[in-house]
Amino acid sequence: MLTRLGRLAVRRSRAVLVAVLLVFPGLAAYGAGAADDLDLSRWSAPGTESVRAGERLRDDFGTGNPNLAVLVTARDGDVDSPSSRRAARALAAEVTRAPGVTDVTSYWDTRSAPLRSRNGHRALILARLEGTATATRARLSRLAPELTRTTAGLDVQVGGQEEISRQVGEQARGDFLHAECRRRRPGRRWCPSASRTRRAAGAVRRAHPVRTG
């Protein structure tokens, strides 16, 4: 079978080359977003003490380590000022209402010194996002932009283990696709940006959804 295919490719080399050149761009766009249809994983080693402790917390106490951190910077320079305190508590309540978010702990509710910077300019809201890595990072792709803001009283940034992993994954995918474009078309002056590539891949996936087992 393979021998016959090889001989056919040799005899019809020009036709095979043209077919590859025609099909490859579509396959590349289709495969660019395949990562969105696969299950992600977390950086953990099954059986280690930290993993067993996390499983114990989850199974016996219904909790776990916080994986979402919201960094709040008071624009007046004091996280304990009345205006900063009111705005930060409203933000913490917003985080609590977000779908899938549990165990919200903020400096303004606990007055815990480790959650406050030494100069009093910044403080933290910690929370836990429940679910698989795939579901959690999909949720963060919507939640992080909603929480990130600059208002009259606060500057708000989103971080934590899951958000860092999400951003690293998006950046790596965009860089890989851009590098592939440069490698395959070295003379090309323009290659699509990561955001443009993601939009194109998403359009292809919506037209031809990938089904995974």
Reported confidence tier of residue 209, pLDDT bands at 50, 70, 90: very low
The angle that helices 194-207 and 161-184 make with each other, rounded to 10 degrees, is 90
Establish if 183 belongs to a structural domain: no
How does DSSP classify residue 119?
T
The pTM of the whole model exceeds 0.75: no
Q: What is the CATH number of the domain that holds 105?
A: 3.30.70.1320
| pLDDT (0 to 100) of residue 75 | 96
Task: Give the highest mean pLDDT range of 11-15, 58-62, 158-162.
Answer: 158-162
Number of CB atoms found within 10 A of residue 121's CB = 17
Beta carbons of 67 and 128 less than 8 angstroms apart: yes
pLDDT at 202 over 60: no
Which structural domain range is residue 122 located in? Answer: 49-160
Establish if 100 belongs to a structural domain: yes
Establish if 19 belongs to a structural domain: no
Beta carbons of 120 and 114 less than 8 angstroms apart: no
pLDDT in tens, 110-155: 999 999 999 999 999 999 988 887 888 888 989 999 999 999 999 9
| pLDDT (0 to 100) of residue 203 | 47
| pLDDT (0 to 100) of residue 113 | 95
Q: How many domains does the chain have?
A: 1
- One-letter identity of residue 176: F
Rounded Cα distance, 46 and 24, in Å: 39
Tokens linked to 198 = 């993601």
Establish if 96 belongs to a structural domain: yes
Task: Give the highest mean pLDDT range of 10-24, 43-57, 78-92.
Answer: 78-92
Reported confidence tier of residue 35, pLDDT bands at 50, 70, 90: low
Instruction: Give me the residues paired with residue 155 across strands.
Output: 73, 150
Rounded Cα distance, 82 and 156, in Å: 17
Reported confidence tier of residue 12, pLDDT bands at 50, 70, 90: confident
Establish if 63 belongs to a structural domain: yes
Q: Which residues contact 163 (CB under 8 A, 6 or more apart)?
A: 68, 69, 140, 144
Establish if 171 belongs to a structural domain: no
Is the dihedral angle over the CA atoms 74, 77, 79, 80 positive or is it negative?
negative
Beta strand extents in the chain (DSSP E only): 68-74, 101-106, 122-129, 149-150, 154-159
What burial class does residue 88 get, using C-beta atoms within 10 Å of its C-beta: 0-12 exposed, 13-18 middle, 19+ buried?
Answer: buried
pLDDT in tens, 161-182: 888 888 887 787 777 777 767 6
Reported confidence tier of residue 205, pLDDT bands at 50, 70, 90: very low
Establish if 95 belongs to a structural domain: yes
pLDDT in tens, 60-119: 766 678 889 999 999 999 999 999 999 999 999 999 999 889 899 999 999 999 999 999
Establish if 105 belongs to a structural domain: yes
